[in-house]
Amino acid sequence: MDLRYSPEEQQFRHELRDWLARVLPTVPPKPAADDWPARRAHDTAWQRLLFEAGYAGINWPRDYGGRGATPTEHLIFLEETERAGAPYVGVNFVGLLHAGPTLVAEGTDEQRARHLRPILRGDEVWCQGFSEPGAGSDLASLRTRAVRDGDHYVVSGHKLWTSYATVADHCELLVRTDPDAPKHKGITWLILPMDSPGLDVRPIETVLGSSEFSEVYFDDVRIPVTNRVGEENDGWRVTMVTLSFERGTAWVDQIVDSMRLVTDLVAIAKTVTRRSATAWDDVGLRRDVGHLAAEFDALWALVKRGVSQAQATGVPGVGASVLKLRYTEARQRLMDLAARVLERAALSRTDIGALWSLSGRHSGEFVEERINSLSYTIAAGTSQIQRNIVGERILGLPRER
Ligand SMILES: Cc1cc2nc3c(=O)[nH]c(=O)nc-3n(C[C@H](O)[C@H](O)[C@H](O)COP(=O)(O)OP(=O)(O)OC[C@H]3O[C@@H](n4cnc5c(N)ncnc54)[C@H](O)[C@@H]3O)c2cc1C
């Protein structure tokens, strides 16, 4: 990958920057966290704007409605949208960042024709039905059962922690199709329409007072066999493709956001006074901020490597686990540092005004994000599991018993 920007890439950056400057003032503010219909409308309207301007699916192949951008253009897109404070991918997360890419890599032509464009246009939202009670880290132990009945699978069981289930149109669903096979060999990856009869979605309220995820119960839910992605009982291999997108490329915009937050934090620390000095006069704080800034720089270099690898092979490599592990832990340390600077204000979701708004953010948002960041080292596979993957598959250490 050539890291210098060509004249075409510079041109791409300028056009995107101009477009963002024109469009962002027209985007309404983010709705309340617990107003899910409004959140869906907000996030999908932004996705539609991206689509109409030719920026949706920036790295997806042109044949599937994407822009087919080069790895460098993809990185420029992430940098510029974050720099401008463009809306987060939100409810489009699963569709855009791992279900869609899985269909590009593994779906049939019919599945791609049916699903990819609606994801890119923000017409359809996806969720992920992988985890179950007793099958989180040990995902291959999942028990939701699918029995073949003619042209359908009949599904019964229970999924847990299904993000966006209340607003989703489709779900990437893992089911057990062969209970007698070794556990990794009896799983199938299905596309579940969320309006299927027999589904019961029960939202779970989090500490933030919003139902980010749900439990989903299946009572003889019928799913057409044509909704299967990959072969029957070959779902574990397809799952690895999905997880490599989820762990590898799905987080990268947040790394740019974190770099911006470090800069904001420095500005705030220079303003907060402690007796006769500012928070920034604290050598310990400066050292910790420096370490963190260097770590985010290194992670961004790793993103560049991952993006260019994904371009060559179509799928991010196992290095995705390194990125996920280090990024999520660094993000938590950043939030702890911010709390050190904000002190008591870091404990209240009420906006403290002047200080944090230096960075154009609402201080309550920071408090929420600090709590939210605690979940990052669990979602998409815990840190311990990423360490196992790094140890076994990258470093070649003996497999855990
Ligand atoms: C914000 C958020 C969103 C989520 N969204 C979704 C979603 O949309 N769809 C979905 O399917 N799932 C989702 N999940 C679930 C997530 O994938 C699981 O929580 C995660 O895989 C961990 O599984 P678990 O919660 O069952 O914990 P467990 O697997 O029970 O783990 C408990 C603890 O034991 C440790 N542990 C387990 N096995 C090992 C081991 N072999 N070696 C060392 N330590 C180990 C874990 O690291 C953890 O600390 C979400 C989770 C969060 C937090």
Q: What is the pLDDT of residues 190-219, one digit of tens each?
A: 999 999 999 999 999 998 888 999 999 999
Sequence letter at residue 260: R
Q: Is residue 20 part of a domain?
A: yes
Q: For residue 362, name the pLDDT band (cuts at 50, 70, 90).
A: low
CATH code (residue 64) = 1.10.540.10
Q: Which residues pair with 155 in a beta bridge?
A: 146, 221
Number of domains present in the structure of the chain: 3
Q: What pLDDT is stored for residue 360 in this prediction?
A: 64
Closest CA to 322 of 232, 254, 397, 389: 389
Q: What pLDDT is stored for residue 245 in this prediction?
A: 81
Residue pLDDT, tens place only, 369-400:
889 999 999 998 999 999 999 999 899 999 98
> 134 vs 85, 138, 139, 387, CA distance in Å?
39, 8, 8, 20
Rounded CA gap, 330 and 291, in Å? 10
Q: What pLDDT is stored for residue 316 in this prediction?
A: 66
Q: Are residues 160 and 223 in the same domain?
A: yes
Provide the residue range defining the domain that includes 318.
251-394
In three-state secondary structure terms, 4 is: coil
Residue with CA nearest ligand 1 atom 16: 379
Judge whether residue 174 has pLDDT over 70.
Answer: yes
Backbone angles phi, psi at 146, to 5 degrees: -125, 125
Q: What pLDDT is stored for residue 153 in this prediction?
A: 98
* Average pLDDT for 343-349: 77
Q: What pLDDT is stored for residue 400 in this prediction?
A: 82
Q: State which ligand 1 atom lies nearest to the alpha carbon of 375.
A: 53
Residue pLDDT, tens place only, 70-89:
878 888 998 899 889 899 89
Token pair in block for residue 271: 């303003």
Q: Are residues 335 and 308 in the same domain?
A: yes
Lowest mean pLDDT among 50-64, 111-125, 174-188: 50-64
Q: State which ligand 1 atom lies nearest to the alpha carbon of 134.
A: 26
Q: What pLDDT is stored for residue 366 in this prediction?
A: 77
What is the pTM for the complete model shown? 0.92
Residue 246 annotated to the active site: yes
CA of 246 to the centre of ligand 1 (A): 14
Of residues 374 and 344, more confidently modeled: 374
Q: Are residues 263 and 364 in the same domain?
A: yes
Q: Is residue 363 part of a domain?
A: yes
Closest CA to 197 of 228, 239, 152: 152
Element (H, E) at 83: helix 71-83
Residues 6+ apart with CB under 8 A from 195: 169
Contact indicator for 136, 103 with CB cutoff of 8 Å: no
Does the C-beta of 163 come closer than 6 Å to ligand 1? yes
Q: What pLDDT is stored for residue 292 in this prediction?
A: 96
